[in-house]
Structure 1
Amino acid sequence: MVLLGLLALAALLPLTARADKVPGEGDITLSTRFWIDSSGSATVDQVAAESPGTWEAMDHYRSFELGSSALWVRIEPGQLDSRRRWYLMLTAAAFTNDARLYTRGADGGWTEQRAGDHLPVAQWSHPDQTPVFSVDPLLTEPLWLRLANAPAPTSPRLQLLTEENLQSKRYTTFLFIGGYLGFGLLVLFLGWVHVRLYGDRAFVAYCFYVASMLGFQASFTGIGGLFFWPHWAVWNDLAPSFFMLWLTGSGIWFVREACAVPRHSRGVDRFVVAWSLFGVVYSLVYAALLSPLAFKLLNLYGLLSVVLSIALCLWTWRRGETYAGWLFLGFLPVHLGYPFPALRSAGVLPDSLATQYGVLIGSAIEIPLLLYILHRRAKDFSENRARLRAMESTDPLTGLTIAPVLRLRLRDALKRARRSGHRCGVMLVELSNHADIVAREGREAGDRALVVAASRLSGVVRDVDTVCRISDTRFAMLIEGPQKPELLKLLGQHVVAKGLEKVPNLPVELPLRFRLVSSTPPDDKDSLEDALSDERLLARLNRALDRLSDDPRKVVLHLSQPPLQV
C-alpha cells in the first residue's frame, strides 16, 4: 500500500508541475535538426558553418549508433521569457558519455558547457542526475549540442524548462527514487534477517539480487553519479552495465536456489551455475573491450536470462516445486518491464518513460513479492523439518515422547534426586480394557482410545513432566520432584477418575479403564547402582503392574518405601 501510494504521488506531481507551464517550455526534440559528424573531430565553428541542407529534421524520436562519430543537434529555442532562468535537460543519463552545449556570445566567442559519463558529475557545468545546461533567454543564435556515446546507442530527448519546473521535476524524481531505494534497503535488511533466521541459501541469493537491483537503478537513473560516486567518472560510465550483469547473474542464482534445480537435474544445474558465473566474469571482459559486439552480447545475455528464469520456474513447477510457480508470478513485473530498457539500449526503441522507469516500477512490485514468497516457502520447509525432528523423538500414534527420551530424562531425574535428597515420582499406567474396545468397536476405535488416553494423561501433569508410551497399551509418567508419596497417590486416583470420563465416538459403557503402579524413588536403602538405574526401576514397576493385573478388583498400587521386593 505504501509503495502504491508513492507511485501515485510520483504520477500526480508532474501533472501539478505542468499546470504552471510557461510558453516555450516542454519537449523540443522534434523541433530540432541534427547532423552526424562521422569523423567525430569537427569543431563548433565548422559545424556552425555547415550548409543548412546537410541538417536533417528530427521528425520522430530516433536512436543513433554513433561509435566513433558525434551527433550534433541544432536547437532554435525561440522567444523565451527573459524574466526567468531557462535550462536544457537531456534525459537518459546512463547512455550519454559526452554532452557539450555551445552558445555564441555577443562578442562572437563560444561558451561551452559540459556533462556526460566521461566527466565526473562533480565537474559538470550543472551537476544533476542527467545532463543539464543553462540557456540565456536573450540569445538569438541557435544552440549547438554535441553528443558522443559508445558502444551503446543514444536517443536524445531534450526538454526546455524554467528553473521552477526543473526544480519540481528534480523533487519528484528524488522523492520517487529515494522512496524506492529506501524501501529496497528495508527489504534487503529483512532478507538478511531471514538469512539469519532460517539459514536458507535462497535468502542469500535474494539479498545479492536486491542489492544488485538497487545499484542498477541508482546508476541507471543517474542518482548514483550525483550522490554516491560524483568524482568517479569511469565507474559512473561502467556502473549500469556492471550492475545489470551482476543483477542478471544473481537473479539466475536466486532462481536456482529457490526452485531447487539441483534436485531435478545435475546437468541443468551445472549449466545454470555456469550461466550465473558468466554474468560476473563478463563484466570484467566488457570493461576491457567496450566494443559494439561486447555491448550486443551484454544485451543478449540479459534477454536470454529472462527466458531462462521463466523456463526454470515453469520446469521445476511442473516437476512438483509448488513455490516455483509463485516465483514465476513474482518475477513477472520485472520480466514485463525489462524488454523496454534492453531494446532501448540496443537502439530499437527511443528513450521514453517506459524505457527509463519500466524496470524500476516493476522491481518495486517484484522485490517485496519475492520476499513474501520466500518467507512462506522457508516457513513451510521449517515446519516440515520441525515435524520430521519431532517424529524422531515422538510416538507416531499418540505424539508422546518415545521410550529412549523417557529413560534419559528418568536417569537425570534420579541423579538429581539422589544428589539433592528429594524424590521424584514414576507411574506406570495401563489401558486395561483396550482389548474389549477393539473387540467391540474395531481397531480404529482402539487406536482412538489410545490417543485419548495419551491426551488425558498429559492433561493431569505439568509441562515439565514426561508422559511416554512404552508398549502398546502401557504408559510411563515421570513426575519431576520433589514429590511426596501422599501427593502421588492422589494423582493416581485422579488418573483413574479421568479415564472414566466419556470418550467421544465410543459407547458410554466403554470408558478408559486405567490400572496403575506408582513409586517415589530413590529410597534411602537403595544402593547407588539401583538408585541410578532407570532400567531396573522400570522393570520393577512393570513386574508390579503385571502382578496387579491378576487382581481385577484392584486398579491402583503404590509401592511402599522401602521398595517392594518382587
Structure 2
Amino acid sequence: MRRGLRHVGWLVWLGLLWLGLPCLARAQDVLPADSLHAAPIPPAIRLVPGMEGVPLHGRSRYWVDETGRKSVDEVEAGVQLPWAPRDASQQHNIDGKGMWIQFDAIATVDGRWFVEIALSGLDRAQLFYRDARGAWVVQEAGDSKPVSQWPLPGRVPTFELAHEVGRTVRYWLRVEHARVNFAAPIALYDQGRLIATREREQFLLGAYFGLAALITIVAFANAVAFRDRSFGAYAIYVALLAIGQAAYLGVGAQHLWDHMLRWNETATFLLPGISTAAGLWFVHTVTEPVRFSRLLDMVVWGVIAALMIAVGIDTMVTSRVTFGIVMLLTTFALALVFVLILLVWKRGDDPTIRLIALGFLPVLVMAIFPVARGLNLIPNSALTRYGLTMGAVLEMPILFYALSLRGARRRESLVRAMALQHTDALTGLAHSRSLLTRLEAALVRARSQRHPCALLGVKISNFEAIVSEYGREAAEKALVVAASILRRAITDVDLAARVGDNEFMLLLEGPTTTAAAMSRAQQVIATGLRPAEALPPGLTLKFHVSVALLPDRDLDPAGSLKWVLEGVNSIPYDARKLIRPLNF
C-alpha cells in the first residue's frame, strides 16, 4: 500500500513538471515574432472544387499583436511587422493579445469555400478581406457572439471566403484566446466537403450523447429499483461527463445555451472539471478504498474536494494559473483512478472488478490527450478534441454490464432469502403452503368452468436405499436432480412442489385429460431412469406416481393433497406398475 502511495507521489511531481514545461514552450514561441526580418508571403492557395481540409500551416504567416488593439488597417499598413511562417506544431500564449494570420487565396471557378478553425470554445475570431471595390468584409465568431449569429453556425468558428473568380484575395484572420495556448488546426474546405464532414461529426456525436442519455436513464432506474448506490453514482458520472463533453466540444453552445454567452464561456472550463470529480467519486464508490487503507480513502476525498474548490476558484478568477491547477489536479485524479483499480484488482475479492477495470481503461488512456492539451504539452488535434468521447463510448456499455453483474451477484442472497417464503430451500420447488394456495384457486376454476385439473403425487421409491448405500450427500443430490426432472415435466402454468422428505406433487392446472396426465407421469418415470452426471455412476431414480383428476367429490385442497399422497405411498416398493390412477 505504501509503495502504491509512493507511485502517486511521483505522479504528482510529474504533474508539476508538466505544468512548468509550457513556460519553456511559450518562451520559444515568441522567438519568431521578435526576429528582425519578416517571412515572405506564401503563394496563393488555389481554391478548386472538392477541396477538403487544406491546412494553412506552411501556406500562411502569423504575427502576435502584444497590445491586442491593432486594427486591420494598421496591420495591413504595417510593412515592418515581424511576420513568421506558421507551423502545425506551434503553440502561442496570446492572453490579452491578438494573433493575426495572413494568407492569400484565389478561386479558379465559381463556388463557395470556407476557412474553419477547429477549436470549440474559442474566445473570438474575425476574418477580414477586401471585396472588389476595396471595402472591408468582416465576419466574426467565437464566444463573443451567439452561435446562431455566426457567419456559418456550428460547433467551431467557420468563415466563408470571397465569391470572386480569378482574383487573388488576401485574408486577415484575427484570433483572441486566453488561458490555454492557441494551437488549433486551420483549414480550407469546399462547401460540399465541409457539409459532409459536419454531418458525419453530428452523427457520431449524436450517437454518443444518445447512448449517454440511455445509460443515464437506465442506470438511474436501476439505482432506484434496486437501491444500488453504485448505479446511482454511475448515472451521475455519465450524465456529468456527457454535459462536460457537450461544453468542451461546442455542442452546448450550438444547441443548448446559444444566447447564454457568459455561461458558455464558463461552462467550457467548469463542467469538465466537475465531471472529473464525479468520475473519481464513482470509482471511489465502486472500489471502496477504505477497506484497504483509511489514508488512501482520505486522499481520494481530499482530491475530490480540492478539485471542486479549484474549479470554483477558476470560475471566479479565470486565470491561466488557476486553470493550470485544475489540470494538475485532474492529472492527479486520473492517477488515483489507476491506483484504485489496480489495488482492487490485486487485493479485492470482487469477480467483476477486472471487467470494471477494462471499462475504465479507454477513458484513462484517452483522457491523457485533452489533459495534455490543457497543460499546453501538445497542439490541438483529433485526439485532444474527441479522445475522451471515444473512450467514453467504449467505457459506458462495459461498465454498465459489469455493474449489472455485480448488482445481480449482491442481490442473489437477498433474492434467495425472499424466495424461502414460497420455496423449498434445497430444491427450489414450491413448498406445501404455496401448493395449497395454488390448488385452492385451481379447484375454484375447475368447478366454475367444468374443466378438470390434475394432481400427481411423485415419490422417490429408492430414496432410503440411496441414503444407506451412498450417504446423505448423494441423497440430497438425488432430491435436487428429481426437482430438475419435475421442472422439465411441467409448463409455465403448472406447479411443482416438495411436500415431504422424498415426496413431491405436480399440479397440472387444466383443462387436462387422463391421457395428458398419464403422459406426464410416464415422462417423469422414464427421465428418472436415465443416468445423471450429478449422481454417482450407476445410480438412477425410481419414481412411483399417483394420478388424480380434480375436483373429486367434495374434497378441499388439504383433503385432495392427503388423498393423492396416500395413493403414492401405498404403491409397494417392488410393484410392477409404477403409476396408480386414483379416480379413472
Question: Structure 1 length as normaliser, TM-score?
Answer: 0.72
Map of 2:146 onto structure 1:
120
One of 185, 202, 210 as aligned partner of 1:178: 202
1:64 to 81, 85, 92: 92
1:471 to 486, 497, 500: 500
Q: Counterpart of 2:321?
A: 293
Q: Distance in 2 between matches of 1:542 and 1:82?
A: 98
Is residue 2:68 matched to residue 1:40? yes
Q: 1:89 aligns with which of 115, 128, 131?
A: 115
Q: CA deviation at 1:135?
A: 5.1
Q: 2:386 aligns with which of 353, 357, 378?
A: 357
The residue type paired with residue 147 of structure 2 is V
- The structure-2 alpha-carbon separation of the partners of 1:84 and 1:341, relative to structure 1 and needing over 3 Å to count, comes to farther
Kindly indicate whether residue 158 of structure 2 is the aligned counterpart of residue 149 of structure 1: no
Cα distance in 2 for partners of 1:205, 1:227 equals 27
Larger radius of gyration: 1
Secondary structure at the residue paired with 1:225? Answer: helix
d(CA) in 1 for partners of 2:192 and 2:517? 83
CA distance in 2, matches of 1:513, 1:211: 58
Q: In structure 2, do the counterparts of structure 1 residues 118 and 475 end up closer, same or farther at CA, with 3 Å as the change threshold?
A: same
Q: Which residue type is aligned with residue 122 of structure 2? A: T
Which shows bigger deviation, 289-298 or 383-392?
383-392
Query: What secondary structure, in the 3-state scheme, does the structure 2 residue paired with 1:64 have?
Result: coil
TM-superposed deviation, 1:286:
3.4
Matched, 1:315 2:343: yes
Given that 1:32 and 1:76 are in contact with CA atoms closer than 8 Å, whether structure 2 keeps it comes out as yes
Matching residue of 1:73: 100
The CA deviation at 1:97 is 0.9
Q: Deviations over 1:133-159 (max 9, x none)?
A: 455578889654433222333235443
Shift of 1:237: 2.2
Which residue number in structure 1 is paired with residue 377 of structure 2?
348
CA–CA distance in structure 2, aligned partners of residues 228 and 500 of structure 1: 66
Note if contact 1:296-1:346 (Cα within 8 Å) is conserved in structure 2: yes
The Cα of 1:117 is off from its aligned counterpart by 1.1
Aligned to 1:239: 267
Q: Distance in 1 between matches of 2:177 and 2:418?
A: 60
Alpha-carbon distance, 1:167 to partner: 2.0
Any conservation in 2 of the 1:65–1:347 contact (CA below 8 Å)? no
Query: CA RMSD, aligned part only?
Result: 5.1
Do the aligned partners of residues 143 and 21 (structure 1) sit closer, same or farther apart at CA in structure 2, a change above 3 Å counting?
closer
Is 2:303–2:329's contact at 8 Å kept on the other side of the alignment?
no
Distance 1:489 1:227 in 2: 66
Structure 2: distance between partners of 1:378 and 1:149: 47
- Residue pair 1:286, 1:295 contacting (<8 A) in 2 also: yes
- 1:269-313 per-position Cα deviation (integer Å, ceiling 9, x unaligned): 676577667767765543322122321133223323322322232
- Please list, as runs of the form range in 1=range in 2, the aligned pairs for 1:462-501 lying within 5 A after superposition: 463-478=492-507, 480=509, 501=529
Instruction: Kindly indicate whether the alpha-carbon contact (under 8 Å) linking 1:121 and 1:226 is maintained by their aligned counterparts in 2.
Output: yes
Give the counterpart of 1:188 among 209, 212, 225: 212
Kept after mapping to 1: 8 A contact 2:48/2:108: no
Contact 2:219 2:235 in 1 (8 A): no
**Offset from partner CA, 1:451-478 (integer Å, 9 cap, x none):** 4544555566665444333333333455
1:399-446 Cα distance to aligned partner (Å, 9 max, x none): 422344334445655777899999876665543432233434555554
Partner of 1:80, secondary structure, is strand
| Residues 455, 550 of structure 2: 8 Å contact kept | yes
- Counterpart residue identity of residue 113, structure 1: Q
1:340 and 1:202 map into 2 onto residues whose CA distance is 28
The 10-residue stretch of structure 1 (218-227 or 507-516) with the greater mean CA deviation from structure 2: 507-516
Moved more, 330-339 or 413-422: 413-422
Partners of 1:236 and 1:139 in 2: how far apart? 39
Structure 2 residues without counterparts, runs of 5 or longer: 1-46
Q: Distance in 2 between matches of 1:509 and 1:252?
A: 56
Question: What is the alpha-carbon distance in structure 1 between the residues aligned to residue 573 and residue 157 of structure 2?
Answer: 99
Residues 301-310 or 418-427, more deviating = 418-427
Paired residue type of 2:359: G
Which residue of the partner structure matches residue 563 of structure 1?
none
Query: Which SS does the other structure have where 1:322 is aligned?
Result: coil
Q: Deviations over 1:338-368 (max 9, x none)?
A: 2222222222222233333333444444444
SS at the partner of 1:34?
Answer: strand
Counterparts of 1:461 and 1:338, CA distance in 2: 55
Task: Give 5+ residue unaligned stretches, structure 1.
Answer: 1-16, 561-566
**Secondary structure of the residue that 1:327 maps to in structure 2?**
helix
Residue 517 of structure 1 contacts residue 557 of structure 1 at CA under 8 Å; is this kept in 2? yes
Alignment CA distance shift 1:464-1:271 (3 Å): farther
How many angstroms apart in 1 are the aligned matches of 2:369 and 2:488?
64
| 1:27 corresponds to which of 16, 37, 56 | 56
Alpha-carbon separation, structure 1, partners of 2:308 and 2:415? 37
Conserved 8 A contact 1:65-1:152: yes
Please show how residues 389-428 of structure 1 align to structure 2 within 5 Å. Answer: 390=419, 393-410=422-439
Secondary structure in structure 1 of the residue aligned to 2:434: helix
CA contact (8 A) 1:215 1:243 kept: yes
- Stretch deviating more after TM superposition (246-255 or 382-391): 382-391
Paired residues of 1:489 and 1:558 also in contact (CA < 8 A): no
- Whether contact under 8 Å (1:488, 1:518) holds in the other structure is no
Give the distance between the partners of 2:168 and 2:191, measured in 1 at CA.
26
Q: Percent identity?
A: 28
How many angstroms apart in 2 are the aligned matches of 1:179 and 1:458? 49
Asked if residue 334 in structure 1 is aligned to residue 328 in structure 2, the reply is no
TM-score in terms of structure 2 length: 0.70
Which letter does structure 2 place at the counterpart of 1:94?
S
For 1:494 and 1:82, locate their aligned partners in 2 and report how far apart those are by CA, in whole Å. 89
Contact preservation (8 Å) 1:429, 1:476: yes
Distance 1:106 1:492 in 2: 95
- 1:311 is matched by which residue type in structure 2? V
Is the alpha carbon distance of 1:145 and 1:195 closer, same or farther for their aligned partners in structure 2, counting shifts above 3 Å?
A: closer
Change (3 A) 1:427 1:234: same
Matched to 2:201, the amino acid is I
Change (3 A) 1:483 1:345: closer
Greater mean deviation of Cα atoms: 370-379 or 171-180:
370-379
